[in-house]
Amino acid sequence: MADVVLSINGITKSFAGNKVLDDINLEIQRGSVHALVGENGAGKSTLVKIVGGIYQPDSGTICMNGKTVHFAGPHDAINHGISIVHQELSLVPKMSIAQNVFSHREPVNRLGFIKWAELYRKTRELLKPLGLDIDPGRPVGGLSVGVQQLIEIAKALSTDARVLILDEPTSALSEKEVDMLYKVINDLKSRGVTSIFISHKLPEVFRVSDVISVLRDGRLVGTVRKEATTPEEIIRMMVGRPLGDLYPPKSSRVGERILSVENMTRVPAFRDVSLELFRGEILGFAGLVGSGRTEVARAIFGADRIDSGRIMLGGREVKIGSPRDAIRHGICYLTEDRKDLGLFLTKTVRSNIVASSLSKFVTRNGFLRKHEIEESSRYFVDYFRLKPSDDRALVMNLSGGNQQKALLAKWICAGPKVLIADEPTRGVDVGAKSEIHRHLRQLAESGVGVIVISSELPELLGLSDRIAVFNSGRIAAFIDGKGATQEDVMRYATL
């Protein structure tokens, strides 16, 4: 073999019984730019966290320069010349550039006092090759995200990193900043630094990398040289699995238009989004994390303000300034984060089920009709076969699947005309999952317009009649749910 700087041999890792990485074998050439691609949850981040010493593998070894190494923590990895630039910036905004670059490793004299002049000089030396000519004493807080990203890289290089791992470095950058970053990666390459580059975005993967490895469901599908492949092939490798018929049958008939969104914009989350939703259909929202799916849903629900655009309900324009307005118009939004944004964990199932529909259970003077609340809540507990079946149980004592069903009950209780369900089956076991699918389909059949947002492509393809594919804050395409393949969706989502 040529000059291998890092080899990963048979790495396996499980979290709570879920196998996240399964027997990964990978060799990284010295001085190359090696891209790791795959769907959300394919195991990319876990793999680099093992290489960076943050997680310990269950089995398998890592070799550097031919010698087996063992990393007990990030410190060991750094000492071996491996540094990670994480997806979330880890800089301290109020501290200076120099302090951030050399955090906890500042040059000190014998009494432990920081030698500021030397600190600034060393920082300047690191910043220069990155094309940054700024005062190292400036606080990081006021700098653009792109510059902060470069400072993160300087921080990684300050430890004499020979292998630099970049976990989705461009997700928050402007186009100009991305160009700057590529230049830096190429410069580093000419200095013999190896980069491992994680990204969702295939165009940039093809632009910057030499070698591409594809992960899927915790396995390595393959490693190819960039010259020897095409984006289409990479997409096939990313998704390539058959779709079971675990899903309820598709819509039999689609009725009149119930909701339409025209040229809705909220900078920078999404721009110029238009869509239509018809009675009786399930419209899927596909797209990678950060593509604007959830942001569009929140905007339709009035949780976030829009800069421009119109929302029409049943042919008439509606002004939605708050979730309260949306609910009054019959637009309901099941949040993706059920614990923090959806449920009242320390309250009873009954309280949760009626939380967004209290106004339906009051007399003219606002007094609660407790008997009706009890009846409705019991009805939904039975309908969704919640366990325990006592609706006075606290929601926090329910399993994930039952919590999710309680959340769905809460919104159905509100009597939606349009229901947007964001990741309705996240963290839910297989049984509850198909129950939730069935309920969503029934809801659509009963005349409600249903939008489902999901990161799981098979779920989206199995459930939706039509799919809107989001890419970088725009809808890239509408795809017919029948006969669409994961490749089709991924192509629009990544290209």
Interface contacts to other proteins, rule CB under 8 A: 301, 303, 322-324, 326-328, 333, 335, 340-347, 351, 355-356, 358-359, 361-362, 365-368, 370, 387-390, 392, 396, 410, 414, 431
Smallest gap, in angstroms, from Cβ of residue 427 to other proteins?
A: 16
Smallest gap, in angstroms, from Cβ of residue 392 to other proteins?
A: 8
Two tokens, residue 236: 């096939």
Centre a 10 Å sphere on the Cβ of residue 431 and count the other Cβ atoms it contains. 9
Two tokens, residue 35: 């891209």
Smallest gap, in angstroms, from Cβ of residue 356 to other proteins?
A: 4
Contact partners, residue 405, CB within 8 Å, separation at least 6: 384, 385, 386, 432, 435, 436, 439
Q: In angstroms, rounded to a whole number, what is the distance separating the alpha carbons of residues 166 and 106?
A: 24
DSSP 248: P
Q: In angstroms, rounded to a whole number, what is the distance separating the alpha carbons of residues 202 and 184?
A: 19
Three-state secondary structure of 319-360: CCCCHHHHHHCCEEEECCCHHHHHCCCCCEHHHHHCCCCHHH
Smallest gap, in angstroms, from Cβ of residue 426 to other proteins?
A: 16
Smallest gap, in angstroms, from Cβ of residue 384 to other proteins?
A: 13
The string of DSSP letters for 264-286 reads EEETTTEEEEEEEEETT-EEEEE
Among residues 251 and 356, whose Cβ is nearest to other proteins? Answer: 356
Among residues 134 and 362, whose Cβ is nearest to other proteins? Answer: 362
DSSP 94: T
Under DSSP, is residue 19 helix (H, G, I), strand (E, B) or coil? strand
Cα-only R_g, the chain: 26
Smallest gap, in angstroms, from Cβ of residue 18 to other proteins?
A: 20
Among residues 226 and 328, whose Cβ is nearest to other proteins? Answer: 328
**Contact (Cβ atoms closer than 8 angstroms) between residue 309 and residue 265:** yes
DSSP 267: T
Q: In angstroms, rounded to a whole number, what is the distance separating the alpha carbons of residues 324 and 189?
A: 54
**Contact (Cβ atoms closer than 8 angstroms) between residue 261 and residue 311:** yes
Asked if residue 268 has a cis previous peptide bond (ω within 30° of 0), the answer is yes
Smallest gap, in angstroms, from Cβ of residue 89 to other proteins?
A: 24
Alpha helices in 416-484 (DSSP H): 430-445, 457-463
Alpha helices in 258-312 (DSSP H): 293-300
Q: In angstroms, rounded to a whole number, what is the distance separating the alpha carbons of residues 270 and 86?
A: 24
Q: In angstroms, rounded to a whole number, what is the distance separating the alpha carbons of residues 481 and 461?
A: 6
Q: In angstroms, rounded to a whole number, what is the distance separating the alpha carbons of residues 141 and 231?
A: 37
